[in-house]
Amino acid sequence: MSAAREQVLSRVRTALGRGEPGDAQVAEIRARIERHPRHIEPVFDEPAPLRFRQKLEAAEASCATLDSLAQVGAEVERYLDQAGVAKRLVVSGDELLQSIDWPASIDVRPWVAGSDERVSLTSAHRGIAETGTLMLLSGENNPTRLNFLPDYHIVVLTADQLVLRMEDAWDSLRSCFGEMPRTVNFISGPSKTADVEQTVEYGAHGPRCLHVILVG
């Protein structure tokens, strides 16, 4: 459909009262992209971990703060007990999660295609304090489906992964990876809908419950 491409672009150019963008214009917009200037960023006073937790809880996610990774196993067990679900867990292949010592009572399996995905455990690339948001990236060890198919999604995050704002998360992404991962999920609470009578119900399509374990 390159004819349509030329037609659309030429109509846009006619509307803008000019022809193809000149070199200077292209250089200018590329420079703006290269600079990717930050804009107005809301100010908040609370310390990042507190803000992160408050915002998550306001969005009906639950949050636990632990001192060390060694406590994660017990916390997951406590959470599953409290939720009253079978202690079966699909864990993403993220490096951080491989060092967790699991209690024998939990059936922990690495994700493979076709896993039972009722409860998942993943890490996140960053946590964003401003909005209580998790940033999860797709990749070899991180199937995106684990963020959406389970009823319960548990996310482990270390305190040094917290940033203040989405813009900081972008900076981190740019410095850690040369390119955008296929999928960047910003998750700020369990799945919900207000399509029945403008009243919120949780667990529309994605997880009914989101539990965040902040370590350190």
Binding to another protein (CB under 8 A) within 156-215 occurs at 165-167, 170, 179-199, 201, 203-207
CB count in 10 Å sphere of residue 134: 27
Q: Which is nearer to another protein, 41 or 101 (CB)?
A: 41
Q: Which is nearer to another protein, 209 or 215 (CB)?
A: 209
Q: Tell me phi and psi for residue 43, to 5 degrees.
A: -90, 135
Phi-psi region of 24 (alpha: psi -120 to 50; beta: other; left: phi over 0): alpha
Reduce the DSSP state of residue 135 to 3 states and report it.
strand
Instruction: Pick from 54, 141, 158, 172 the residue near another protein by CB under 8 A.
Output: 141
Instruction: Pick from 69, 73, 148, 172 the residue near another protein by CB under 8 A.
Output: 148
Q: Using CB under 8 A, which residues numbered 68 to 97 contact another protein?
A: 93
Instruction: Using the structure block, give the residue that is written with the tokens 């949780």.
Output: 202
Is 150 a residue that touches another protein (CB under 8 A)?
no
**Three-point CA angle 102, 108, 114, nearest 5°:** 165
Q: Using CB under 8 A, which residues numbered 7 to 26 contact another protein?
A: 7-9, 11-17, 20-21, 25-26
